[in-house]
Amino acid sequence: MLEDLRHRPGGGYPAPEGNAAALLEATLWASDLVLAAPTYWYALPAAAKLYLDHWTGWLRVAGLDFRARMAGRRLWLVTVNADGPEESGASDLLVATMERTAGYMGMRFAGALVGRGNRPGEVSEDAAAMARAESFFLCGRNGPPSPG
């Protein structure tokens, strides 16, 4: 059984250790964060969601000031879903989640690159997504990241 650390005496979460500490360090080092994951049941797959779950803990580590340190950085999304040409919207909830995550953290949502494909390599047949991919990272829709 997992303990809800938010309500323990003294409050807060312990500082991360081991791989979690390395992940935190890499996150704080980056000016831009790119989540590249398939849309899975209209959301992030478990491994990508687990990364954001770490953020929940880091927000509660005393003295870390995780939200303040993330403010102004850009958050990008690259995803693929299995919608056919006559369908659309399978990634809409995922895109909205990432937009809200960026807003909550004081980050800038730089955009989402959404491709269509079901089998390995099939996204390369999505001509529109491949064309958008050529310039996707050149400049996010909200401009360059803030210094620092």
pTM: 0.85
Domains of the chain, each with CATH number or no CATH:
27-45+67-137 (3.40.50.360)
C-beta of residue 25 within 8 angstroms of C-beta of residue 58: no
pLDDT of residue 69: 98
The model's pLDDT over 11-23, given as tens digits with 9 standing for 90+, comes to 678 899 999 999 9
Find the angle CA(71)-CA(35)-CA(99) to the nearest 5 degrees: 55
For each of the chain's 148 residues, which pLDDT tens digit applies? 556 666 666 667 889 999 999 999 999 999 999 999 999 999 999 999 999 999 999 999 999 999 999 999 999 999 999 986 666 789 999 999 999 999 999 999 999 999 999 999 999 999 999 999 999 998 665 554 444 3
CA distance 107 to 122: 32
What is the helix, strand, coil percentage profile of the chain, to 5? 40, 20, 45
